[in-house]
A and B are shown apart, each in its own frame.
Chain A
């Protein structure tokens, strides 16, 4: 005999929808997680959502409705309240005479209070599932969500949006610069060439010293690699942990989805406190079907992003942000394998860093490093970047260009800043700089997410050209008002930005020019270049040539040592070949910036043999 006063667990057991063993397990978990019982059941996959919510309806003696079969009446829900609907899991459903019937997946005082405040005291409640609410919200406010995702930043904070690639003032500045250069070359070619040579020489030297300094600070094991200790992670209590949203934007990559699902299941974090969103393009049937076929637990939700331009990852993330309920948010790529304790380490890092730290970037590296030359070089590149340089940037308070994944945000700050710029193809790098400019700090933490390194050169060039184009966009956006930037991020931040963001893209552009001149001089010989290399410039160029190239090579050799990957160290000797590829990508990125600035060069995942093995392992782990 069912009694409405019985706890939901017992009701489910009585209805044969839950076993006693699972009930006891869930109750035991609840004691440590301190979350609602229903969320635990869904997170652990013990009960089907529909069964849970219909039983919940019985417990509250409310009707249960299926919003898919009985959609809400048009015009009842209003766009202004859309975010509150998503937050409270509530949605006005139908009119019943003078009363409005409100559907909710969370019947309780908060929802009732909200419903009454909007629809008067005669409001009536029905129960539906969380998924019904979210799906219906997406369908109902698709246009508004989509508009906000695309134009939110551009409308509220246009100065920080890459929607305008080059401002008129920047256009005039470039025009003047080119004019002065051409005039100089016409009137005093040697002097102009010397001046140009000097500027480029100093740029290389500055770039070299900055990166050397960053690596020096980044190699301080005590500060960098033991920033959050295992003991600190163990000291966290599950009940104190906040809800964490995980966004996984994907497009046409169904093949690697099992890797991510397996990795997320391995996370050492209360499942019921995870709010996982698979953010998929509405037209991407293959990935949507693959996600459905995996039989993911209740914590996995699918967000379908309606088609609109630009079709970029940041736009998809902005769209999904409306449905995110965590206090913190992280982005993972489809093939990511974060270390299991990553979320906890991030929580500790946030606690230690204080409220001004709005974002924590984790390290990225690759699980298929040894696959071929390119994956080895890519691994050296990432090891140097994430294991050494980003900690150095943090230490020197230079804006950190976030990596595309495993960046963890405080949700309130992210929303206040209007999240990602959908017109910037390295929206993450841009956001890192924007956060610093707005007075927040970006930190790094000693936890790694392993990804699939690009193993195909054309695919790599597509990916890298997008990154470099994005760096160019980021540089142009934040240099619209150099003085303002200088005042907001300080001396070190400003110059660090010039050399780290500006230097990364500019060196790719300049390198081939210098290589070409050098090769020509080696072949032809003679003193025809002497006039543009007066003594001081000659010594400066020699330092750049020998020390710069030599030490950058050495840094590549050192890069894998922290992780003990000594077999990769000798490959650092071949890094010049990798630089050549970067230059190809830089020119492609520059060309695209001019021709098609918002085009998102898609990186194809799943090409790696190792990734395929990882997929097989992931599927085996869930018995598929």
Chain B
């Protein structure tokens, strides 16, 4: 494998046709899994939110202006947004579509890497697909997280790490620096991986450069990350008056839980053993590559250090309650293993072993997922296991969205209505809190929107946070003058305005009425 970051020469058979075939094959496989989960009635929270943000940002300037710098992770947000601009894409769950496309690209990248390393088409294809469509990747992508672009970034970083260590090329360093930015911006787990790898970056740089100037070396690798952070801070300050406003998104995207690592291990040593066990079960290729490369000097370091970095990220994420199950972070070990195996090459790692180890890693990943279930992975797996039949009936939110499809001048709070917005499929005709009109409405308490969407404030806690429920506490239950109930299902109501005059004011704002 040519480790440098500029594209190397692939095997003769790896032409555009083969590449397209791999891409389409991977797309069908990953898309098939996503479709099965959807058909089984599962749509992750991240998918719903990402889809909503894409629809609204693509169609509503103020919404975009409000979110383009504060959405974290930023990369999936922008990828979803680009996808939303493609005609016809807004009818699909956009984050799932984007993740599926990225997984297919990941598969092509890995298969190409194996062919460059000298593996035959069959072995490269089998191993590449098994690694790209690893259970962790499928599960995370199935939930609409930005894992797929982050995994691509991890592949680029791992390849660049080898090129840096072995050849010391400046292109490799730049790609490594850029990949770290993508890791940070693509997924919260990627940010943990970035942090986990920080102590080991020095070991990836050519020794002569580090001896010459360690500061210079780190700057080359980390300036892009620093620049991204500074840019985020500046944009947040500029548009929201607070440089760290984007950090407010972190609790939402990095789901908490018990530190699973300490749970099963019990003691620090046990936890370490458990962490290592799950890591090796998920990506046994890494061990084989390291063993095969043990006499390859620089190469073994270049494979080992990113792997150790991922492991550190795993420990860090678990102990800070940011990794609900090991696969969240261990997914990043798989690209390292794939790139390591490609660097090992068929002379040191026979094609049969490559495929068997990739298969073992796939099975190991599935086992780890089964061993440490989370509500989301359980729901995803349950949806996959649901027998094919008639499509599931729409949920209440989807029903609201479908009801509103042909309707305009709809006021709603997008925070709790992602599924409604997704089902409606467009931003036109929505009156959002980012608009001056709705800001004035809420301030003056004089509703004039054609339709108002309300969740039952007695239902889920999130419904009580709905801004209309907060501004008009009795609206859901009692309605308002000038509005009639147009839709009512399972905790969701839509009121339609019937008189031309703005609905009467409810009086001063609640805080003004508060004792």
Contacts and interface: CB of A to CB of B under 8 A. Distances in A.
Interface in B213-253: 213, 215-217, 219-220, 223-224, 227, 230-231, 234-235
A550 B213 contact: no
Contacts of B61: 535
B65 A561 contact: no
9 contacts: A219-B171, A222-B6, A535-B65, A551-B227, A554-B174, A557-B216, A558-B173, A570-B215, A570-B219
Interface in A544-571: 546-547, 550-551, 553-554, 557-558, 560-562, 564-570
Given A546-B231, A554-B224, A565 B174 contact: no
Contact of A557 (B65, B220, B235): B220
Nearest to A542: B235
Interface in A207-229: 216, 219-222
Contact of B216 (A222, A554, A568): A568
B4 A570 contact: no
B235 A566 contact: no
A220 B7 CA distance: 10
A254 B219 CA distance: 41
Contact of A222 (B4, B219, B220, B234): B4
B291 interface: no
Contacts of B213: 566-567, 569-570
A546 B210 CA distance: 29
B456 interface: no
Chain A interface residue count: which class?
Answer: 20 to 34
B212 A221 contact: no
Contact of B170 (A550, A562, A570): A562
A219 B168 CA distance: 12
B188 to A, nearest CB: 22
B219 A557 contact: yes
Nearest to B62: A535
Given A550-B231, A558-B173, A567 B216 contact: yes
A150 to B, nearest CB: 44
Contact of B223 (A222, A547, A554, A565): A554
B216 A570 contact: yes
A558 B170 contact: yes
B416 interface: no
Interface residues of B, number: 29
A377 to B, nearest CB: 15
Contacts of A550: 227, 230-231
Contacts of A570: 213, 215-216, 219
Interface of A: 216, 219-222, 535, 539, 542, 546-547, 550-551, 553-554, 557-558, 560-562, 564-570, 572-573
Nearest to B215: A570
B209 A561 contact: yes
Question: A535, A550, A562 — which one has the most chain B CB atoms within 10 A of its CB?
Answer: A550
A557 B227 CA distance: 13
B167 interface: yes
A566 B212 CA distance: 6
B171 A220 contact: yes
Contacts of B217: 566, 569
A561 B219 contact: no
A565 B169 contact: no
B71 to A, nearest CB: 15
Contacts of A565: 212
Contacts of A560: 216
Contact of A221 (B68, B169, B208, B219): B169
Interface of B: 4, 6, 61, 65, 68, 167, 169-171, 173-174, 177, 208-210, 212-213, 215-217, 219-220, 223-224, 227, 230-231, 234-235
Nearest to B69: A542
B205 to A, nearest CB: 9
Q: Secondary structure at chain A's binding surface: helix, strand, loop or mixed?
A: helix
B111 to A, nearest CB: 23
Question: B61, B209, B223, B230 — which one has the most chain A CB atoms within 10 A of its CB?
Answer: B223
Contacts of A572: 219
Contacts of A569: 213, 215-217, 219-220
Given A550-B227, A554-B223, A561 B173 contact: yes
Question: A221, A551, A566, A568 — which one has the most chain B CB atoms within 10 A of its CB?
Answer: A566
B171 A564 contact: no
A568 B220 CA distance: 11
Nearest to A567: B213
A282 B179 CA distance: 59
A561 B170 CA distance: 6
B208 to A, nearest CB: 6
B209 A564 contact: yes
A354 to B, nearest CB: 23
A572 B208 CA distance: 20
A566 B216 contact: yes
Nearest to A220: B6
Contacts of A568: 216
A216 B170 CA distance: 10
Contact of B212 (A539, A553, A567): A567
Given A554-B227, A557-B220, A557-B223, A219 B170 contact: yes
Contact of B167 (A221, A542, A554): A221
B16 to A, nearest CB: 21
Contact of B209 (A216, A551, A566): A566
Contacts of B171: 216, 219-221
Given A219-B171, A222-B6, A566-B220, 10 more contacts: A219-B169, A220-B6, A221-B4, A546-B234, A551-B227, A553-B223, A557-B220, A566-B212, A569-B217, A570-B216
Nearest to B208: A564
Given A566-B217, A570-B216, A219 B174 contact: yes
5 closest A-B pairs by CB: A569-B216, A566-B216, A566-B213, A219-B171, A566-B212
B212 A564 contact: yes
Nearest to B228: A550
Contacts of B68: 539
B468 to A, nearest CB: 27
B116 to A, nearest CB: 14
A405 B193 CA distance: 48
Contacts of B173: 558, 561
Contacts of B231: 546-547, 550
